[in-house]
């Protein structure tokens, strides 16, 4: 019964919230047809077509999907109740929300005292990142912006799960992994150079939306290395990998049902992107979630959920196709 409730909630919510594209709206297709759609990532626009995929899958899940769904359902059943965040945590989440948008030319400049250390722009994947330096905090900030271009949308749409080399059981979103792999060497060299010039500085990784997905991959790559990565903060990030990948990130972050760790997955109100790709396709979020539960964010309505996919946080809120919740975090505009 619990599994039916868990599966049914996102199915109904997404079906209500997202328009259906004609390309895959035929609910009479077979699981073989579904497999073809999933193999190429998506048919047409990723966010419009996901509801069509959901309708097909409701008629008959491919045989390899229920096992992943059951594993995630088990995680959902174990989560502790949510708690209101402290003032210190809320201030942290609000402060770092400025950086993903600052890494683009069309949103806003970072706060006074923040120095642009290195700009990374990989044209083959149209993937950008910025390394900032903040001397008052002795900190380097790796900021990765969200979707800005048609090529970014193609990255989003390439959502097959592929092997992730850092652990045997890990799989990650193909498009996100390709984008991160295209900049990882330059980012790592940039951080090494900055830390050589500014020894003792810490590294914080932040990202919004697509950039939040890449920030999780960056954390997985950079945290095990001698780069003094002390935290990762994502805003409106989609799901990036399977349960094995989430396990791997949770271990790196020291996150569990009883410990928040150093990973902050910030969600806002009814942001639909945090529900995608659908978890029953094998994707699941890592810990720890911080849900700004009201349209207008405030400390009193921001909650911490230690489990990965908690019904006490955004997974229990019907998502909306309106982009307002996705475009602002902590009252900060975070994408163009």
CATH number for 218: 3.40.50.1820
At a CB cut-off of 8 Å and minimum separation 6, what does 67 contact?
none
Counting the structural domains of the chain, the total is: 1
pLDDT in tens, 44-86: 334 444 444 444 444 444 444 445 555 555 555 567 899 999 9
Q: Identify whether 324 is part of a domain.
A: yes
Q: Identify whether 145 is part of a domain.
A: yes
Buried b or exposed e, range 287-313, using 16+ CB within 10 angstroms: bbbbbbbeeebeeeebbbbbbbbbbbb
Q: State the 10-residue block means of pLDDT for the chain, 336 residues long.
A: 32 35 32 41 39 43 48 60 96 93 62 91 95 97 87 80 92 96 98 98 97 98 98 97 97 96 96 89 94 93 94 88 77 62
Q: Identify whether 320 is part of a domain.
A: yes
pLDDT of residue 10: 39
Q: Identify whether 206 is part of a domain.
A: yes
Cα 187 to chain centroid, rounded: 19
Q: Identify whether 26 is part of a domain.
A: no
Q: Identify whether 269 is part of a domain.
A: yes
Give dist(CA 253, CA 137) in Å, integer.
21
Q: Identify whether 28 is part of a domain.
A: no
Q: Identify whether 103 is part of a domain.
A: yes
Give dist(CA 184, CA 124) in Å, integer.
13
pLDDT of residue 74: 55
Domain holding 309, by residue range, is 84-333
């Amino acid at each position: 019964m619990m599994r039916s409730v868990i599966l049914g909630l996102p199915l109904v919510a997404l079906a209500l919230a997202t328009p259906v594209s004609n390309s895959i709206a035929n609910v009479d297709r077979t699981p073989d047809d579904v497999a073809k759609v999933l193999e190429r990532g998506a048919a047409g626009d990723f966010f419009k077509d996901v509801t069509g995929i959901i309708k097909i899958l409701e008629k008959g899940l491919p045989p390899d999907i229920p096992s992943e769904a059951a594993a995630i359902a088990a995680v959902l059943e174990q989560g502790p109740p949510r708690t209101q965040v402290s003032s210190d945590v809320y201030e942290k989440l609000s402060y770092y929300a400025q950086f993903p948008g600052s890494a683009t030319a069309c949103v806003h400049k970072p706060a006074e005292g923040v120095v642009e250390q290195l700009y990374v722009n990989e044209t083959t994947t149209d993937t950008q990142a910025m390394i900032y330096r903040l001397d008052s905090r002795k900190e380097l900030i790796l900021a990765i912006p969200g979707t800005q271009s048609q090529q970014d949308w193609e990255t989003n749409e390439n959502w097959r799960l592929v092997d992730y080399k850092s652990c045997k059981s890990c799989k990650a979103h193909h498009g996100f992994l390709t984008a991160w792999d295209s900049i990882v060497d330059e980012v790592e060299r940039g951080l090494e150079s900055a830390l050589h010039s500014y020894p003792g500085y810490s590294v914080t990784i932040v990202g919004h939306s697509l950039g939040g997905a890449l920030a999780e991959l960056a954390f997985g790559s950079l945290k095990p290395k001698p780069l003094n990565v002390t935290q990762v903060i994502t805003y409106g990030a989609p799901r990036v990998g399977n349960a094995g990948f989430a396990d791997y990130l949770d271990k790196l972050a020291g996150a569990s049902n009883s410990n928040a760790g150093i990973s902050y997955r910030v969600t806002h109100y009814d942001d639909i992107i945090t529900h995608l790709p659908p978890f029953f396709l094998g994707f699941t979020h890592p810990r720890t979630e911080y849900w700004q539960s009201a349209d207008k964010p405030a400390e009193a309505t921001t909650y911490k959920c230690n489990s990965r996919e908690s019904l006490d946080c955004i997974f229990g809120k019907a998502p909306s196709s309106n982009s307002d919740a996705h475009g602002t975090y902590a009252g900060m505009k975070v994408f163009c």
